[in-house]
Amino acid sequence: MKSKRVILITGGAGFIGSHVVRTIVSNYPDYRIVNADKLTYAGNLENLKDIENKENYVFEKTDIVDKKAVVDLFDKYLFDGIIHLAAESHVDRSITGPDEFVLTNIVGTVNLLNAALARWKGSFDGKLFYHISTDEVYGSLGREGMFTEETAYDPKSPYSASKASSDHMVRAYNHTFGIPVVISNCSNNYGPNQFPEKLIPLAINNIKNNKPVPVYGKGENIRDWLYVEDHASAIDLIFHNGKIGETYNIGGNNEWKNIDLISLLCRIMDKKLNRPAGTSEKLITFVKDRPGHDLRYAIDSSKLQKELGWSPIPSFQTGLEKTVAWYLSNSKWLENIISGDYSKYYDSMYSGR
Ligand code: NAD
Ligand code: TYD
C-alpha cells in the first residue's frame, strides 16, 4: 500500500513550471514530486538548483509526445495527481513553426490523458488531472469587457488554437470517461526565470546591453500581467481545493498597453543602472507588427478570488522591480541561456522587421 501522494508535474524546468515545482516541493514535504520535462530550448534545470537535492523531488527527462515514454513513466511512479504545464508557449514561434505546437500541446496532452485513464480506470478516488492553460484561448477583446469562465473559445494564433484543442480534449475526457480534471486559464506571466524571447525579459536584456527594444506595431496592444509566484500560489490552491470539472480564470487585474509597460520598464532600468533619466527610452524601436496580433486580453478572476480566497500581489511596479533586480543579479543565467540557437532565432525573427 502506497503511503505518499505521488504528483507528476510536466514542464517543470520551464518558466512557470519551475516556480510551481519549487512551491509544491517546499509546501508538501510528504509528497513525492516527479518533474518530467523534455528540456527543449525553454527548459533549464538551472532554474531548480536550489531544490534539486530535496528528498521529495525527482527529475525525469521525458518527451510527452513519446507515447511509450509517458506510459513507462506512469508505470514507474503510479501518480495520483498531475499538474500539466509542458507546452510550446511562444506565439511568435507558433507562427513560424506550428507543427511542434500541435505535437506537444495537443498530442502530448492526449498521451498524458490516455496514460492517466489507463492507470486510474475503475478508481478515480483521490485522483486529479490539472491542466494549465492560457487566457489566449478566448481570443481577442476590444476596448471593453473581460474574459470570464463562460466566454466562448475563439483562439486566433496557432499557439492559442493548440492550447484550446488541448483544453477541449481534457474536458472531453472528463465528460466521456469520467476522469477527474480541473483547468485554469491564466493571463501573461512575468518574473524571474522567464526565457528572454518573451516581452519583459527580452526588453530587460536589450536595455541592459544598449540594444534596440522592439515594440510590435504601435505598441497599442494590451496584456494583463501577473507575477509568476502568484500564478504558482493559485495553482497550488486550485490543485488542492478546486472543484472537479471546473475552470478557474487567473489574472492580475493589471492591464498595460505594451508601450506604457516598456516605458515604465525603461524608467526602472535607468534607476537600477544609474543611467540619466530618459536614456533607456531612446532604445524603443517600433517594428513590423506580429501577424494576427491579438489586441487585448483581460481576465476576470473573481471566481477564484471568491471561491478559493486567492489574490495577487497589489503592485506591478514592485513586481517589475523585483524582476529587473533578479535579471541584473543573474547575468550568468542569462548568458548561459542565450545560446547559439537562441541568437539564430533572434536574428531570424527581428532582422527583417
Ligand atoms: P516555457 O516555454 O517557459 O516552458 C515550457 C516547458 O515545457 C519547458 O521546460 C520545456 O522543456 C517543456 N516542454 C516543451 N515540450 C515538451 C515535451 N514535448 N515534453 C516534455 N516537456 C516539454 O513555458 P511557460 O511560460 O512556463 O508556460 C508553462 C505553461 O503555462 C504552458 O502550458 C503555457 O501554455 C501556460 N501559460 C503560460 C503563460 C505565460 O505567460 N507564460 C500564461 C498562461 C498560461
Ligand atoms: P509575449 O511576451 O510574446 O506574450 P503573448 O504574445 O503571449 O501575449 O508578448 C507580449 C506582448 O508584447 C504582445 O502584445 C506582443 C508584444 N511584443 C512586442 O511588442 N515586442 C516583442 O519583442 C515581443 C516578444 C512581444
How far apart are the CA of 206 and the centre of ligand 2, in A?
Answer: 14
Q: Is residue 147 part of a domain?
A: yes
> In whole angstroms, what separates CA 319 from the centre of its chain?
17
Widest CA span of the chain, in angstroms? 66
Cα(32)–Cα(276) distance, integer angstroms: 50
pLDDT at 315 over 80: yes
Percentage of the chain exceeding pLDDT 90: 92
pLDDT at 201 over 80: yes
Residue with CA closest to ligand 1 atom 44: 134
Residues whose beta carbon lies within 6 Å of some atom of ligand 1: 10-11, 13-17, 37-40, 42-43, 62-65, 85-89, 104, 108, 132, 134, 163, 186, 188-189, 195
Strand partners, 82: 8, 129
Cell digits of residue 132: 494549465
Q: Is residue 108 part of a domain?
A: yes
Rounded average pLDDT over 152-174:
98
Residues whose beta carbon lies within 6 Å of some atom of ligand 2: 91, 188, 198-199, 202, 214-216, 221, 223, 258, 290
Using DSSP's 3-state secondary structure scheme, residue 114 falls into helix
Cell digits of residue 52: 534539486
Cα(105)–Cα(59) distance, integer angstroms: 21
Q: Is residue 99 part of a domain?
A: yes
pLDDT reported for residue 340:
66
pLDDT interval class at 268 (50, 70, 90): very high
pLDDT at 342 over 80: no
Q: How many CA atoms lie within 13 A of 26 on its CB side?
A: 12
Q: Is residue 183 part of a domain?
A: yes
How far apart are the CA of 338 and the centre of ligand 1, in A?
Answer: 18
Assign 3-state DSSP to the chain and report helix, strand, coil percentages, each to 5. 45, 15, 35
Q: Is residue 341 part of a domain?
A: no
Which string of b and e fits 247-277 if b means at least 16 CB within 10 Å?
bbbbbbbbbbebbebbbebbebbbebeeeee
Report the number of distinct structural domains present in the chain: 1
Rounded average pLDDT over 291-317:
96
pLDDT at 88 over 90: yes
pTM above 0.95, yes or no: yes
Cα(73)–Cα(113) distance, integer angstroms: 13
pLDDT at 60 over 50: yes
User: What angle, rounded to 10 degrees, do the helices at 15-27 and 228-241 form?
Assistant: 50
pLDDT interval class at 336 (50, 70, 90): confident
Q: Dihedral (C-alpha) 152, 157, 163, 166: value to the nearest 10 degrees?
A: 80
pLDDT interval class at 63 (50, 70, 90): very high
Which residue spans within the chain are E strands per DSSP? Answer: 6-10, 32-37, 57-61, 81-84, 128-134, 181-186, 188-190, 213-216, 222-227, 247-250, 255-257, 284-287
Q: Identify which ligand lies nearest to the alpha carbon of 217.
A: 2
pLDDT at 341 over 90: no
Q: Which CATH number do you get for residue 76? A: 3.40.50.720
pLDDT reported for residue 223:
98
Q: Is residue 216 part of a domain?
A: no
pLDDT at 250 over 50: yes
Cα(14)–Cα(19) distance, integer angstroms: 9
Q: Is residue 213 part of a domain?
A: no
Domain that holds residue 29: 5-195+224-255+292-317
pLDDT at 345 over 90: no
> In whole angstroms, what separates CA 327 from the centre of its chain?
18
pLDDT at 1 over 90: no
Choosing from 23, 89, 200 the residue with most ligand 1 atoms within 8 A of its CB, the one to mutate for a pocket test is: 89
Percentage of the chain exceeding pLDDT 70: 98
Q: Is residue 211 part of a domain?
A: no
Rounded average pLDDT over 99-110:
98
Rounded average pLDDT over 84-104:
98
